[in-house]
Structure 1
Amino acid sequence: MRLHVERHPGADPVLLVHGFATTGALTWEATGWVAALAEAGRGAVVPDLRGHGGSDAPHDPAAYSPDLLAADLLAVLDDQDLARVDVIGYSMGSWVALALAGQAPDRVRRLVVGGVGTVEQFGRWGVEAVRRAILEGADSLPADSPLAPLLSSLREAPGVDRAALAACAEGMAQHPLPLPPATPAFSAPTLVVVGEADPVADGADEAARRLGAELVVIPRRNHITTLSARAFKQAALPFLGASVSL
Structure 2
Amino acid sequence: MPSFHHGDVEIAYLDEGEGEPIVLVHGFASSKNVNWVYPTWVSDLVKAGRRVIALDNRGHGDSAKLYDAEQYEIAIMASDVIALMDHLGIARADIMGYSLGSRMTAILALQNPDRLRSAILGGIGIGLIEGGGPGENVALALEAPSLEDVTDPVGRTFRAFADQTRSDRAALAACLRGSRRLMTREEAAAIRVPVLVAVGSKDEIAGSAFALGKVIPGSEVLDIPNRDHMRAVGDKVYKTGVIDFLSRRK
* 2:33 alignment partner in structure 1: 25
* 2:46 alignment partner in structure 1: 38
Q: Structure 1: how far apart are the matches of 2:30 and 2:76?
A: 18
Q: 1:105 aligns with which of 81, 98, 113?
A: 113
* 2:168 alignment partner in structure 1: 161
Instruction: Indicate if the aligned counterparts of 2:199 and 2:206 stay in contact, CA closer than 8 A.
Output: yes
Q: Structure 2: how far apart are the matches of 1:126 and 1:54?
A: 22
Q: How many residues align?
A: 237
Q: 1:128 aligns with which of 126, 136, 141?
A: 136
* 2:5 alignment partner in structure 1: none
TM-score, normalized by length of structure 2? 0.88
Q: Which amino acid aligns with 1:157?
A: T
Is the partner of 2:22 in helix, strand or coil?
strand
Matched, 1:226 2:222: no
Moved over 3 A (4+): 123-128
Q: Structure 1: how far apart are the matches of 2:78 and 2:162?
A: 24
What's the offset of the Cα at 1:183?
5.3
What's the offset of the Cα at 1:9?
2.1
Q: Structure 2: how far apart are the matches of 1:233 and 1:126?
A: 25
Q: Structure 2: how far apart are the matches of 1:141 and 1:80?
A: 44
* 1:241 alignment partner in structure 2: 247
Q: For residues 38 and 220 of structure 1, do their structure 2 counterparts lie closer, same or farther at Cα, with a shift above 3 Å needed?
A: same
Q: 1:195 aligns with which of 192, 200, 223?
A: 200
Q: Which amino acid aligns with 2:235?
A: A
Q: Structure 2: how far apart are the matches of 1:109 and 1:17?
A: 15
Q: Which amino acid aligns with 1:60?
A: D
Instruction: Indicate if the aligned counterparts of 1:105 and 1:187 stay in contact, CA closer than 8 A.
Output: yes
Q: Which amino acid aligns with 2:214?
A: R
* 1:172 alignment partner in structure 2: 179
* 1:216 alignment partner in structure 2: 222
Segments of 5+ residues of structure 2 without an aligned counterpart are: 1-8
Is the partner of 1:150 in helix, strand or coil?
helix
Q: For residues 23 and 218 of structure 1, do their structure 2 counterparts lie closer, same or farther at Cα, with a shift above 3 Å needed?
A: same
Q: Structure 2: how far apart are the matches of 1:203 and 1:229?
A: 18
Q: Which amino acid aligns with 2:204?
A: P
Q: Structure 2: how far apart are the matches of 1:195 and 1:148?
A: 21
Identity of aligned residues (%): 31
Q: For residues 202 and 141 of structure 1, do their structure 2 counterparts lie closer, same or farther at Cα, with a shift above 3 Å needed?
A: farther
Is the partner of 2:199 in helix, strand or coil?
strand
Q: Structure 2: how far apart are the matches of 1:82 and 1:106?
A: 12
Q: 2:159 aligns with which of 151, 172, 190?
A: 151
RMSD: 2.1
What's the offset of the Cα at 1:149?
2.3
Q: Deviation string for 1:87-110 (max 9, x for gaps)?
A: 111111000111111121000011
Q: Deviation string for 1:151-182 (max 9, x for gaps)?
A: 32323433x11111000000012x2222x424
Q: Structure 2: how far apart are the matches of 1:127 and 1:196?
A: 22
* 2:85 alignment partner in structure 1: 77
Q: Which amino acid aligns with 1:44?
A: V
Instruction: Indicate if the aligned counterparts of 2:21 and 2:52 stay in contact, CA closer than 8 A.
Output: yes
Q: Structure 2: how far apart are the matches of 1:234 and 1:157?
A: 27
Q: Structure 2: how far apart are the matches of 1:39 and 1:120?
A: 31
